[in-house]
Amino acid sequence: MAQKRREESEFKVSDKRLFTSDGELRDSAEEPAPTPVAAAVAAPVSTIPEAVPTPTAPAPESAVPEPPTASEQQAQHDAYRQSARDLDSRVELSGHSAKELEVSFERFMASLYMTAMMQLGLMQERGGQPAVDLIGARQTIDTLGMIAEKTKGNLTSREQGFLQNCLYELRMAYVEVTNALAKPPQTPGPVTGTNG
């Protein structure tokens, strides 16, 4: 009975990507057969929401969960603060300053700046290879732009300058990277030289 139910509730996954994991163009004749995946590992149908809102469409009012109560928020806040104090104590015992862990507005902006630079392939982790993620970079840059709009009049002149510099540099880098990627590869011309 369980075997029959599992067979009826199986679904198939087909890899429709155009490129292999190595970046090579996938040959359509090489396309592997669909892989059956047992529904036993999938969530029960009763727990799957009827409609998942798309990022462009706001979630319906009924789909938004109730916010936590004030007492739940206070209890969670207190637990978080205690956990943070415990971590700070361990950091101090290791010979470092817990101040290094504090997040300031400028550190937050610097984190987003570095994320965008990595997404543009202009920075990489030590020993890693640069990877370009233009969509991710654009979203990160747009996030910084949204923060600039939403915080107008609420930042110190230093914070405002830092944010504007980050945005300027990232937008320029984005334009340079997208322009470079849009150009066809240059083939070297014939070498002409005179050896006399």
Beta-carbon count within 10 A of 170 CB: 24
pTM of the model: 0.55
**Do 159 and 178 meet the contact criterion of CB atoms below 8 Å apart?**
no
Mean pLDDT of the chain: 77
pLDDT level of residue 163 (50, 70, 90 thresholds): very high
Query: CA 94, CA 87: separation in Å to the nearest integer?
Result: 11
Longest Cα separation, the chain? 89
Say if residue 158's pLDDT is above 80: yes
Best CA proximity match to 49, nearest among 58, 57, 39, 59: 59
Say if residue 160's pLDDT is above 90: yes
Q: What is the pLDDT of residue 9?
A: 52
**Do 40 and 6 meet the contact criterion of CB atoms below 8 Å apart?**
yes
Query: CA 78, CA 76: separation in Å to the nearest integer?
Result: 5
What's the whole-number mean pLDDT along residues 9-17? 56
What residues form DSSP beta bridges with 12?
36
User: What pLDDT, in 10s, does the model give residues 121-155?
Assistant: 998 888 888 889 999 999 999 999 999 999 999 99
Best CA proximity match to 147, nearest among 191, 95, 112, 117: 112
Percentage of residues in the chain having pLDDT higher than 90 = 42
Say if residue 45's pLDDT is above 50: no
Residue ranges per domain, the chain?
103-182
Distances in Å between the alpha carbon of 22 and those of 35, 104, 113?
20, 40, 29
Q: Is 34 exposed, middle or buried (0-12, 13-18, 19+ CB in 10 A)?
A: exposed
